[in-house]
Amino acid sequence: MNEIYVAGHRNPDTDSIVAALAYAALRNAMGDRDYVPVRLGQVSDETKRILDYFGVEPPRLIKNVRTQVRDLDYDTPPTLDATVTMDRAWHIISEQNISGIPVTNADGTLYGMLSAGDIATYSMNTISDPRVENVPLFNLVSVLEGRILHDGGQTTDTISGTVAIALPQSCDNLLFGCRETIVVCGHQPDMVRRALEVGVACLILCQTDIDPEWLQNAGETCVISTPLDAARVHRLIYQAIPISRPCFTDDIVCFHLDDYIDDVREVVLKSRYRCYPILDENERVVGTLSRYHLLRPRRKRVVLVDHNEMSQAVAGLDQAEILEIIDHHRLADIQTSQPIRVRNEPVGSTNTIITAMYQEHGVLPSPKMAGLMAAAILSDTVMFKSPTCTKRDIAMAERLARIANESLDELGRQLFSGAVLTKPAGELLMSDFKEFHIAEQVLGVGQITCIDSLKMLDRKEEFLAEMEKLRTDREYDMVILMLTDVLLEGTQLLYLGSDDTIRRAFDVEPKDNAVFLPKVMSRKKQIIPMLTALWG
């Protein structure tokens, strides 16, 4: 309930994944134990290799941060088993001032909902129909605080019959004329004797004793002794009924912890109930929800790392509370309802910024975390060859490598020597893909960092086919795929869109939707700015 998500961007790269892990670890090391690293997409091959190298699990995958039922301060009233007496349920409802209480089966799943109105309605109906059916004997004895003097050879452990109080003038009438009667009697020997002779279903003795010899002739009559007076006993007999009978069980409107508040609100506005049961993933009851819970829902809390654009952020961010942004990209379009901490610096990697934060707070990252952070800096700066790379990136990476006792060259080999040639073109395209909005243009730019771009070009037609599907599905004005070669120190650029745009933006002559851009290694600093200058 108190978790704070640390989330990178969609289609996360190594810098994004490690930034989430590293910043959550920093805050938790400082005593803030609620920070949880998360990811918004599948882990790329590059990132998986480096995580496996250090034996670290990837962050938890989340799909959105929309407000859910689990985020509400919903009520957690006691849940009652369907066999509990109405008397017990009434005391709980009245003492705790509960509008409704969930009734459950033995395994905790929902049986029905019980309200004070359900109990009152049932009680009022007993005025016109004083008969009770199959009242569990244990329930009856419990409610009456009594004890069984004679069980009457009961085989079903239930009592049925018309409830009647034995009055003096009724001794000779037909009140006890049938077996199906439950007689409530005080110190009235004649009444007791007559009831036993008739063989009523049950005889309840109120604040009195009975001659033990009479019990020898009680036959099938169940005899119960109680310290309560007859008037109270008469009322309580009906309260011994299990709540499974008066509770509401038909077409119950219920919600699950993972249900979204937007959907819940629509259902609640169309229904008339005062409260609704909440179920967990195993269909067990965990609480109840009322209309007032929807007025001020508690929003999820999020820290954004390695991005600050809505198009790259987690879905449902408008329903969440953004606490902080740590990034090294241009400032974009994310808005907040209140001031927050923003740390945005012109360096080559978000992990360079987070490393500085470790230093500022006097926290030493673990060797594994330091190794991951060094690898993330190498990844985002393309082994320090990207124009986004700064002296701070190099210095921080070297410092982290010493803490991890790792070689930067070895980390680089782990990052960029993976065999990606056999992976599906669509999967490669989306492995590090970002969407950008520039002026009125919408474009998507994917990047694959490798050491064999010429071999990758052999699959050009496959890539272009996948790019065309993406452009059609998402209605992009342009789709670009960067095959960034670490050894060639340049990018084989594939594109779908205007030839003139590529020609004017990069001062090159494109051919067949492809062009080589020497010294171009960075999407952020060498691709997007050129297009922004052209379209802006």
Residue 71's beta-bridge partner residues? none
Confidence band for 33, pLDDT divided at 50, 70 and 90: confident
- Mean pLDDT confidence for 516-534: 93
If one looks up domain 145-239 in CATH, what number appears? Answer: 3.40.1390.20
Using DSSP's 3-state secondary structure scheme, residue 203 falls into strand
Is the domain spanning 70-122+245-294 CATH 3.40.50.300? The answer is no
- Mean pLDDT confidence for 388-416: 94
Determine the pLDDT at residue 524. Answer: 87
Which of the 8 DSSP states describes residue 527? I
Determine the pLDDT at residue 158. Answer: 85
Per residue in 186-237, pLDDT (tens digit) is 888 888 888 888 888 888 999 988 878 788 778 888 899 999 998 899 888 9
Per residue in 425-443, pLDDT (tens digit) is 998 999 889 999 998 899 9
pLDDT of 518 higher than 80: yes
Determine the pLDDT at residue 124. Answer: 84
- Mean pLDDT confidence for 361-379: 97
What residues does each domain of the chain span?
A: 4-67+300-416, 70-122+245-294, 145-239, 425-535
Determine the pLDDT at residue 154. Answer: 62
C-alpha to C-alpha distance for 77 and 397, rounded to whole angstroms = 54
Using DSSP's 3-state secondary structure scheme, residue 17 falls into helix
Is the model more confident about 212 or about 43? Answer: 43
Angle between helices 230-239 and 116-128 (to 10 degrees): 120
Mean pLDDT is lowest, of 109-123, 153-167, 246-260, for 153-167
Residue 320 one-letter amino acid: A
Percent share of the chain, pLDDT over 70: 96
What are the strands, taking DSSP E only, across 282-423?
A: 285-290, 301-305, 321-327, 341-344
Confidence band for 174, pLDDT divided at 50, 70 and 90: very low
Q: Which helix (H) or strand (E) holds 102?
A: strand 100-104
Residues contacting residue 43 through CB under 8 Å, at least 6 positions apart: 12, 17, 51, 58
Is the model more confident about 508 or about 189? Answer: 508
Confidence band for 531, pLDDT divided at 50, 70 and 90: very high
User: 425-535 belongs to which homologous superfamily?
Assistant: DHHA2 domain (3.10.310.20)
pTM: 0.69
Confidence band for 168, pLDDT divided at 50, 70 and 90: low
Is the domain spanning 4-67+300-416 CATH 3.40.605.10? The answer is no
**Which string of DSSP letters, residue by residue, matches 442-454?**
EEEEEEEEES-HH
Determine the pLDDT at residue 418. Answer: 64
- Mean pLDDT confidence for 247-261: 92
